[in-house]
Amino acid sequence: MRILQLSDFHLRGDGRRSYRVTDTRRCLDELVRHLEALTPAPDAMVLTGDLADSGDARAYELLREALLPLCRRIYALPGNHDRRDRMRSILGAWCAPDPGIPEFLCQAVEDMPVRLLLFDSMSPGSHSGHCPDAAARWLEAKLRERPGVPALVFMHHPPFKSGMGAMDEPFENVAALEKILGGAPWATLACGHMHRPIFTRYAGIPAMTSPAVAMQLELDLSPEGGDTFRMECSGYLLHHWDGAQLNSHVCQIPGTPGFDGPYPFVDKVNPTED
């Protein structure tokens, strides 16, 4: 089974460049050409947030038009640059919430050899990660339902520290999340938000972040690091389950990276909802 994790598209629907630099529509087009030639085709795609750059509706329409022909099973989470309301109305079944927790875009995919648990860590207007009590109870209950069954837990914000100070913000209720994941050694945590691949262990389980479909964060391990980006190779994670072992591969998207930068994240928006 092959599950593609695609993250941080930062699409704009107005044709402008994100942060005045990145042509995110071109990044999407390069991704589509790559996926059209990919064999075998993925069994599922999971989009781990920041699909739009500022939650505008046209960005979600463009993403849906581009990816819908490529995979029968697509699931999506919001990031801090997204709007839940517009994701619900435009992406539909990609982000259908669990009826037990309708206020969040949490969902469980149970009919595959590896369980896919999508955990919504977004709070409108906030850049950092959140684990509200209701969402924490949902995740704990889902992991307890099928103990020992391999599970990929997807979320936008990583709860672990990266060493890049500007990105290592406080994570609401992180102790509860750590306890829940620590009680599920059969789980693997896969996040977005960091715009580069990071591999570690968190709460005793494998944990990682995906590279971005758009720009990549400058690797700056300082208290101020993580607030600039470079036009490096775009990428994604491919999670492969062979029936006994789960491997996660870093994949690059063919394009024309100039490796120019670093650039600041100017004009950034963490949208609220109407």
Residues in contact with 273: Cβ distance below 8 Å, sequence separation at least 6, in sequence order:
83, 84, 85, 124
- Residue 272: predicted pLDDT: 85
- Residue 209: predicted pLDDT: 98
Largest CA distance in the chain: 48
The alpha helices in the chain, defined as continuous H runs, are 24-36, 57-67, 84-91, 133-145, 174-182
Asked whether residue 274 carries a pLDDT value surpassing 80, the answer given is: no
Asked whether residue 197 carries a pLDDT value surpassing 70, the answer given is: yes
- Residue 179: predicted pLDDT: 98
User: Mind listing the pLDDT tens digit for each residue in 15-64?
Assistant: 999 999 999 999 999 999 999 999 999 999 999 999 999 999 999 999 99
User: Mind listing the pLDDT tens digit for each residue in 63-74?
Assistant: 999 999 999 999
Domain spans, the chain: 2-264
User: Mind listing the pLDDT tens digit for each residue in 234-247?
Assistant: 999 999 999 999 99
2-264 fold: Purple Acid Phosphatase; chain A, domain 2 (3.60.21)
- Provide the Cα torsion 157, 172, 56, 93; round to 10°: 70
Q: Quickly count: other Cβ atoms within 10 Å of residue 32's Cβ.
A: 16
pLDDT-based confidence at 269, cuts 50/70/90? confident
Asked whether residue 147 carries a pLDDT value surpassing 70, the answer given is: yes
Pair of tokens at residue 55? 């939650």
Give me the chain's average pLDDT, please.
96
- For a pLDDT cut of 90, what percent of the chain falls above it? 95
